[in-house]
Copies of this chain bind each other. A is one copy, B any other.
Amino acid sequence: MSADSTARQSAHAASEGETPDPRIEALVTDLIGRVADKWTMILLDLLEERGEMRFTQIARAVPGISQKMLTQTLRRMERDGMVCRTVHAVVPPRVDYRLTGLGQSLGEAFCGVWLWAERNLDHVEQARRAFDER
C-alpha cells in the first residue's frame, strides 16, 4: 500500500474533534504500518529498559532474531530517528545503541500494549480454544 492517496475516514482525529485530514490519516496509517512491527516493538522495549547496548549484547538478549534482521531493524529505527548509533573507533569495533527522545516516547506508547498482552494472555488463549472447538 505505502503511498495511498485515497481518503480514510477520521480515525482518532474525528473522535477527538481535530481536523480529519485524509492525507494526515494516510500518513499516520503508513507510519503505523512501519512501526507496528514485531522486532521494532521488541527492540524498543529492550532498549527502553536496558538503556545503551551494543550490537551483540542486543543479539544475545533477543534470541529469535537473526543478524540480518537486527541490523535491518536498527537501521530503520535509526533512520526514523528512534535510536542513536554511536561508533567507537576502537580495535574490535564497538557500536552503542540507545533510544532517542522520540524512541522513548514510542516505547512508552507501546508500553500499554505490552501490559495488555501480559494481562490478557490467558483470556486470548481461552478465546482461541473456544473458537477452535466449533
Contact = CB atoms under 8 A, between A and B. Distances in A.
Interface range for A:
35 or more
Nearest to A31: B117
A37 to B, nearest CB: 7
B78 A105 contact: no
Q: How many copies does the complex hold?
A: 2
A13 interface: yes
Contacts of A121: 24, 27-28, 31
Contacts of A106: 113, 116, 120
Interface of A: 1, 4, 6-15, 24, 27-29, 31-33, 35-38, 41-42, 45-46, 49, 61-64, 78-81, 102, 105-106, 108-118, 120-121, 123-124, 126-128, 130-132
